[in-house]
Amino acid sequence: MRYRGLDLNLLVALDALLRTQNVSRAADVVNITQPAMSAALARLRQYFGDPLLITRSGKSVLSPLAQTLSTPVFEMLRTIDRTIITQPSFDPSVDERDFSLLAADTLVAGFLAKPLQHIFQQAPKLRLEIATPHGDLGERLEAGRVDLIIAPEMHCSPDHPKELLLEEDHRVIACRQTFAPDHVTLEDYAAADHVEVFVGSGQKPYLPEPLFSSLGFRRRVAVKLDNFSLVPFFLSGTKRLATLPAKTAELYMSFADLKLLDPPFPIPPVRLVMQWHSRANADQGLNWLRANIRHHLEAEDQQYKSHLYRLALQTI
Give the contacts of 87 (CB within 8 A, at least 6 positions apart): 95, 284, 285
Q: Do 167 and 245 form a contact (C-beta atoms < 8 A)?
A: no
- Domains of the chain, each with CATH number or no CATH: 2-85 (1.10.10.10), 97-160+274-315 (3.40.190.10), 170-268 (3.40.190.10)
What is the pLDDT, as a whole number, of residue 86?
Answer: 58
**CA gap 81, 302 in Å, rounded:** 37
Number of Cβ within 10 Å of residue 23's Cβ equals 19
- The β-bridge relationship of strands 148-152 and 170-175 is unpaired
pLDDT confidence of residue 178: 94
* Count of C-beta atoms within a 10 Å radius of residue 170: 19
* pLDDT confidence of residue 89: 77
| Residue pLDDT, tens place only, 127-156 | 999 988 776 777 778 777 789 999 888 888
Which pLDDT belongs to residue 138? 74
Task: Using alpha carbons, select from 231, 159, 167 the residue that is nearest to residue 194.
Answer: 231
User: Is the pTM above the cut of 0.75?
Assistant: no
Contact 240, 177 (CB under 8 A): no
Taking only the tens place, the pLDDT of each residue in 79-122 is 776 666 655 678 999 998 889 999 888 888 888 888 899 999 99
Low-confidence ranges of the chain (pLDDT < 70): 1-5, 7, 81-88, 135, 201, 301-316
Predicted confidence at residue 314, as pLDDT, reads 44
